[in-house]
Amino acid sequence: MRLARRQLAPIALLTLLIITTAGFKGCPSSNDLDRGAKASNELAHDVLLANRVLVEFYTAGKIPLAAKDKIADKLGTIGDKGEKFNATLIELDRKYPQGTMPPQDLQFVRDNLGELRKLYSEVLADLLPFKAQKAVSALDKDLSTIEKVVK
């Protein structure tokens, strides 16, 4: 029974993360802005999902208040930056309806996504002490996929 108790949360987490990663396929679109938009949407949903997982862990008493506050603040920062990044993509979408951007704008998109990825990796590192290794590993894989989309 002890084994079963220990494995309950990891089983659920693993299943959740298999679902979140299994559904993602490489973007079939052919231009930079399409791929950026896809990545931005994926990131928005990842941040929302991470926030919901955090709330569930805190509600279940698995994460102390101080750690919850710290991670929620970091997620808030990512949300702010991600929202601005998405707004910039909307402007670029209007500016370049054909979807191909000049190199400086493309670099801007890559830099922003790289920064958001770094911030998100910090959040994943914050989750590690709470026995969420499987979650971190799978979410990191998901982010790598997003990063690859923009390359």
Which residues of this chain interact with other proteins, rule CB under 8 A?
1-2, 4-5, 8-9, 11-13, 15-20, 23-25, 29, 33-34, 37-38, 40-41, 43-45, 47-49, 51-62, 65, 68-69, 72-73, 75-76, 79, 82-83, 86-87, 89-90, 93, 99
Per the CB < 8 A criterion, the answer to whether 113 and 147 are in contact is: yes
Q: Which residues contact 106 (CB under 8 A, 6 or more apart)?
A: 32
Q: Rounded to 5 degrees, what are φ and ψ at 10?
A: -60, -40
Closest approach of Cβ 151 to other proteins, in Å? Answer: 18
Per the CB < 8 A criterion, the answer to whether 16 and 132 are in contact is: no
Which of 136, 151, 149 lies closest to 40, judged by CA? 149
* Structure tokens belonging to residue 133: 């290794």
Closest approach of Cβ 65 to other proteins, in Å? Answer: 4
How far does Cα 44 stand from its chain's mean position?
7
Closest approach of Cβ 104 to other proteins, in Å? Answer: 20
Closest approach of Cβ 71 to other proteins, in Å? Answer: 9
